[in-house]
A and B are shown apart, each in its own frame.
Chain A
Amino acid sequence: MRRTLAGALVFAATAVALAFLLFPIVAIFARVPPGRLVAQLSNPVVADALVVSLKTSAIAQALVLALGTPAAFVLATRRFPGRPLVVTLTELPLVLPPAVAGIGLIAAFGRFGLLGGTLSTLGIRLGLTQAAVVLAVAFVSSPLYLRQAIATFETVDPDVVAAARTLGAGPARTFFRVVLPLARGGLAAGAALSFARGLGEFGATIMFAGSLQGVTQTLPLAIYTEFAVDFDVTLAMSALLVVVSAALLVALKVTLQWQPSRPTSRFLFATSS
């Protein structure tokens, strides 16, 4: 009798937890029929926000991959004093409140920021530009990629890398023919995670880049702005983000499933040692 009661409680807790997580998502699609959701995509606010979001996220992601991959490789394979501290610092933007990230970016690159003077003598003004959106997105999303990439590079067998060297491959050929193919799955997973995070970026962007339709207004910013104007448009954009995020999540899971020989690539945290 007591066992059935305990079982029922566990079942109920599970049901409540799942319902709580799914209900808001279902609600987005339930309020407005799908036909009207699709029709909202031609609304200029939505179309502009979608273009700004995709463009800035893509550029930010390219920067994260181009700079983050070599950085992660160095942090994964070199042992130097202070390495745990450096790895932890790269993860800091992840746990920062977005508003603090925004203030940090303003303090660093804003007109009156540390680098503001230097940038303006170079004729660069970041405020209210897409470059500012890209910086904000890269700042908050790159730690996710870095962390995953470091963990992935750490799982590459150093003997296999050494074998490539003794077989006549220099460091560059070894990296592109051996390390990168072996790390591919984990790097793709990290990229998907950081892209999804970047796409949803709100706080740092609105503080650092503002919310200018067609320029810096990304989907999350447009949702916030339109909320007071037209709830249906807000729902349409939310639905759009749910679909894109879900697609990224599925792609991520599939990528990880395809690496059965290296289960360690599932680690989403870099070791700090």
Chain B
Amino acid sequence: MAALATDFTLPLRDFELELALPVEGVVALVGPSGAGKSSALRVVAGLARPSRGRVALGDETWVDAERGVFLPPERRRVGLVFQEYALFPHLSVRGNVAFGAGGRPVGELLERFHVSHLAEARPRELSGGERQRVALARALARDPEVLLLDEPLSALDAHTKSAVRAELAEVLRGLDLPTLLVTHDYEDAAALADEVGVLVDGRLRQLSSPAELVARPRDAFVASFTGANLLHGRARRDGGPLTAVRLEGGEEVLSTDEAEGEVGVVVYPWEISVARAHAGAGDSALNVVRGEIGSVVEVANRVRVRIGPVTAEVTAASAARLELERGGTAYATFKATGTRLVPLTGS
């Protein structure tokens, strides 16, 4: 399996997209919409022409702007699954998949993606999940050496999304192709990819494994994008092992990270436990934030509860036991070791 390597600049309307990225295994680019994610895929596919740099698969050069090399899309072995799937509306499912197969039979592919029974159906007759499977089968029919997925789950409703996500993760693992996917949803990225790159305004902020991204977010944006609480405050060293951060709301929280000056305190919802009464100052390294309960939202078998400036995630059972209701008062507690201090620049 040859690796894909990109290092290019593409001028966009409001900024330049710069992407130096080796792609082995599954890499996800995440970021807010308009960050240049889809443009990155278009460059790799040959649908957009960068002003500078290279795109290469192994020792095969696809783009070399300085030498004027630009292979058209049809000469790159790349499978691109479009955000809205872009199936050919005038062709049957079989016709769609066969389009890029170069005359090879596609029965096996239809079988593999569980769409054999839909072979003669038109795309408009398919459900979202079925369309995605057809789009994937069509992209793979060409026997690509690189797979590109543009927001593979965003066209699906919440109900089918989790099932399709698991299915897609399974497929990607089995393919063993360098895969670049883009999504605005960090959870999708973490579920599908080995490596996640956070792209903001055309710049790659951080590239690491999903676990590393959560454990060591490089800046406040990365932290909040991965679902963390971000509290703004001012840090001062007091000589001890802990850093005290005076929050904007007046409270003080402690962290085991070292920092000085304006910082963002990062704490993930699952690091926070919730109580209705103050536990008392039993543990000096335990942070307590008191606040009004802003919202209580069930997500699967968990409950996300907003307490003052932070969101905590507790089990449905403990949410019921604590009788959490909007408007009540609660205490969010989290350990100093459960916090990260990150620079606020670039948030």
Residue from A157, A162, A177, A261 in contact with B73 in the complex, judged by beta carbons closer than 8 Å: A162
| Distance between A172 CB and nearest chain B CB, rounded to angstroms | 11
Contacts of A159 in B (CB 8 A): 82-84, 86
Contacts of B124 in A (CB 8 A): 261
Please, what's the 1-or-0 string for A160-191, where 1 marks a CB less than 8 Å from any CB in chain B? 10111111111000000110011000000000
Complex Cα–Cα for A157 and B99 (A):
17
Chain B 65-89 interface residues, beta-carbon cutoff 8 Å to A: 72-74, 76, 78-80, 82-84, 86-89
Residue from A166, A177, A178 in contact with B46 in the complex, judged by beta carbons closer than 8 Å: A166
Chain B contributes a number of interface residues (CB within 8 A of A) equal to 27
The answer to whether B234 has its CB under 8 Å from any CB of chain A is: no
Contacts of A163 in B (CB 8 A): 80, 82, 86-88, 138
Residue of A nearest to B83 (CB): A159
Complex Cα–Cα for A182 and B122 (A):
14
| Distance between A183 CB and nearest chain B CB, rounded to angstroms | 10
Residue of B nearest to A262 (CB): B89
Residue from A162, A167, A170, A261 in contact with B142 in the complex, judged by beta carbons closer than 8 Å: A167
Contacts of A164 in B (CB 8 A): 88, 99
Residue of A nearest to B82 (CB): A159
The answer to whether B90 has its CB under 8 Å from any CB of chain A is: yes
Interface-centre pick from B46, B86, B138, B139 (highest chain A CB count, 10 A): B86
Main secondary structure on chain B at its contact with chain A? loop
The answer to whether B322 has its CB under 8 Å from any CB of chain A is: no
Complex Cα–Cα for A165 and B102 (A):
13
Quick check: B90 and A167 within 8 Å, CB to CB?
no
The answer to whether B129 has its CB under 8 Å from any CB of chain A is: no
Residue from B47, B74, B82, B88 in contact with A168 in the complex, judged by beta carbons closer than 8 Å: B74
Contacts of A157 in B (CB 8 A): 86
| Distance between B152 CB and nearest chain A CB, rounded to angstroms | 14
Contacts of B141 in A (CB 8 A): 167
| Distance between B97 CB and nearest chain A CB, rounded to angstroms | 10
Chain B 20-61 interface residues, beta-carbon cutoff 8 Å to A: 42, 45-47
Quick check: A160 and B88 within 8 Å, CB to CB?
yes
Interface-centre pick from A167, A168, A182 (highest chain B CB count, 10 A): A167
The answer to whether B100 has its CB under 8 Å from any CB of chain A is: yes
Contacts of B73 in A (CB 8 A): 162, 165-166
Complex Cα–Cα for A164 and B45 (A):
12
| Distance between A179 CB and nearest chain B CB, rounded to angstroms | 10
Chain A 132-157 interface residues, beta-carbon cutoff 8 Å to B: 157
| Distance between A163 CB and nearest chain B CB, rounded to angstroms | 4
Contacts of A160 in B (CB 8 A): 86-89
Contacts of A178 in B (CB 8 A): 88, 90
> Given A159-B84, A160-B86, do A165 and B99 touch, yes or no (CB 8 Å)?
no
| Distance between B71 CB and nearest chain A CB, rounded to angstroms | 11
Contacts of A169 in B (CB 8 A): 74, 99-100
Complex Cα–Cα for A221 and B86 (A):
50
Residue from A166, A181, A182, A261 in contact with B45 in the complex, judged by beta carbons closer than 8 Å: A166
Interface-centre pick from A157, A163, A182, A261 (highest chain B CB count, 10 A): A163
> Given A178-B88, A182-B89, do A162 and B47 touch, yes or no (CB 8 Å)?
yes
Complex Cα–Cα for A169 and B74 (A):
6
Complex Cα–Cα for A163 and B100 (A):
10
Interface-centre pick from B79, B84, B99, B124 (highest chain A CB count, 10 A): B99
| Distance between A157 CB and nearest chain B CB, rounded to angstroms | 7
Complex Cα–Cα for A181 and B84 (A):
20
Residue from B74, B79, B138, B139 in contact with A165 in the complex, judged by beta carbons closer than 8 Å: B74
11 sampled A-B residue pairs with Cβ under 8 A? A159-B86, A160-B87, A162-B45, A164-B88, A165-B74, A166-B78, A166-B80, A166-B139, A167-B138, A168-B102, A178-B90
Which 6 A-B pairs have CB atoms at the shortest separation, nearest pair first?
A167-B100, A159-B86, A165-B73, A163-B86, A166-B80, A181-B90
Q: A162-B82, A168-B100, A169-B99 are in contact. List 10 more A-B contacts (CB 8 A).
A: A159-B83, A159-B86, A160-B87, A160-B89, A163-B86, A163-B87, A165-B46, A165-B72, A166-B79, A168-B142
